[in-house]
Amino acid sequence: MLMEFLNIVEEFVQEIAGKDAIKLLNLLKEKENISEFDIAEDLKMSINQIRNLLYKLNSYNLVYSNRKKDREKGWYIYYWTFNFKHARDLLISRKQAEILRLKDELEKERQHRYFVCANDNIRYELEEALELEYKCSECGSILKQEDSTKRINEIESRINKLQYDLSELNKPIMITPKAAEEEVEKKKQRRSKRIKKVKHKFKSKIKKKKTKSKPSKKHIKRKIKGKKKRR
């Protein structure tokens, strides 16, 4: 189920951004909030190539970024995440529209007769062919009636594929990047360490106060002896 969904997303990503974008998708589906420099290093591509791919995907809102300032270098770094929810919604909308368009085309193919020029491969509807006296407007060759069976079968096949994709896209799927889980665990560990440090500092401060407020017996005796000698 998950693999089918990812395959459909991959097809769309390749369509809008090329084959290299699939490598990017495979990286982003495993992690979230990855810096563009880390992406470039992992994929062994230049930072400009990565940015170009990200901007193409971002134009369809398939990725989004968080901007953070680097404390040492002073510039801003963008951390990217793939938006699977939007990808799903966008694909459902696009495929539904494509199915409607193809159904209209299929109905037209079934209801009309077409004639074709063997030389120029130009198609004419029956009315156009009659006006041209069944001669091609480009080369003057005699037009032949086209058998629409092959084209009808191709359209039906495309509709079936789109309907299958829609059924897969509508299934409940949860994608949780591994890095997100790891990051949550790391945050918990860091928080635990901070709490321990605060507790340790607090305890050490209390101990210091106690030692200051309660002088030792030896310290008291020395003070008494010192007073006696002065007398």
Q: How confident is the model at residue 69 (pLDDT cuts 50, 70, 90)?
A: confident
Number of domains in the chain: 3
Let me know how many helices (H) and strands (E) the chain has, helices first: 9, 6
Assess whether 69 and 137 both reside in one domain: no
pLDDT for 175 equals 72
Assess whether 17 and 70 both reside in one domain: yes
pLDDT for 74 equals 78
At 143-192, the pLDDT tens digits run 999 999 999 999 999 999 999 999 999 988 777 665 544 554 555 566 66
In a domain, 39, yes or no: yes
Secondary structure class of 207 (helix, strand, coil): helix
- For 166-200, b where at least 16 C-beta lie within 10 A, e where not — what string? bebbeeeeebebebeeeeeeeeeeeeeeeeeeeee
In a domain, 203, yes or no: yes
In a domain, 147, yes or no: yes
At 122-149, the pLDDT tens digits run 999 999 999 999 999 989 999 999 999 9
In a domain, 174, yes or no: no
Average pLDDT of the chain? 84
In a domain, 140, yes or no: yes
74-92 average pLDDT score: 92
**What's the rounded Cα separation, in Å, for the pair 22 and 17?**
9
pLDDT at residue 213 tops 90: no
pLDDT for 220 equals 53
**Which CATH number do you get for residue 46?**
1.10.10.10
Assess whether 133 and 194 both reside in one domain: no
> What is the pTM assigned to this prediction?
0.69
The sign of the dihedral angle between the CA atoms of 161, 166, 168, 169 is: positive
Beta-ladder partners of 124:
115
pLDDT for 181 equals 45
pLDDT at residue 225 tops 70: no
Assess whether 188 and 148 both reside in one domain: no
Q: From its phi and psi, is residue 75 left (phi > 0), alpha (psi between -120 and 50) or beta? A: beta
Last residue of a domain, one of 147, 169, 191: 169
- What is the token pair recorded at 213? 């407020």
Domain housing 201:
180-223
